[in-house]
């Protein structure tokens, strides 16, 4: 299962150089991965780890950023997502601009890690 989320780069997302602020990209990647984690678990999920984020190319004002999220691995209560960000505008094809892995833990109604969504199973 794959999930796709999109964002448009606006003035408030830019750094001093006029490119997309790296922290904004990280936030968008986290949100895209969290949406996918919720879709799979149907439970509240929290980010517990982020692998190294690779920023490959600058993203500019007006670019559309497309996030492709796929499930990479499951633990008993956790799920790890592979997130790849692409940029696109009217003049260029989609180009990969960033990538990372985000790990989430599913929580029950009391905020305790839960394997209910996964039937206690673990696979890699």
What pLDDT is recorded for position 23?
A: 97
User: Are the beta carbons of 39 and 79 closer than 8 angstroms?
Assistant: no
Q: Please list, in sequence order, all residues whose beta carbon lies within 8 angstroms of the beta carbon of residue 62, skipping any fewer than 6 positions away.
A: 8, 9, 89
What pLDDT is recorded for position 118?
A: 80
Superfamily of domain 2-118: Hotdog Thioesterase (3.10.129.10)
| Separation in Å, CA 24 to CA 9, 13, 51, 76, 121 | 10, 6, 16, 30, 34
What pLDDT is recorded for position 65?
A: 97
**pLDDT in single tens digits along all 124 residues of the chain:** 788 999 999 999 999 999 999 999 999 999 999 999 999 999 999 999 999 999 999 999 999 999 999 999 999 999 999 999 999 987 878 999 999 999 999 999 999 999 988 875 655 4
What pLDDT is recorded for position 124?
A: 44
């Amino acid at each position: 299962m794959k999930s796709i989320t999109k964002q448009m780069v606006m003035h408030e997302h830019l750094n001093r150089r006029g490119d997309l602020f790296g922290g904004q990209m990280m936030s968008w990647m986290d949100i895209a991965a969290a949406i996918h984690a919720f879709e799979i678990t149907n439970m509240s999920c929290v980010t517990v780890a982020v692998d190294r984020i690779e920023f490959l190319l600058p993203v500019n004002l007006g670019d559309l950023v497309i996030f492709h999220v796929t499930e990479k691995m499951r633990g008993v209560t956790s799920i790890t997502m592979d997130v790849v960000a692409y940029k696109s505008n009217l003049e260029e094809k989609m180009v990969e601009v960033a990538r990372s892995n985000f790990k989430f833990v599913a929580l029950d109604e009391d905020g305790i890690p839960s394997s209910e969504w996964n039937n206690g199973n673990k696979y890699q």
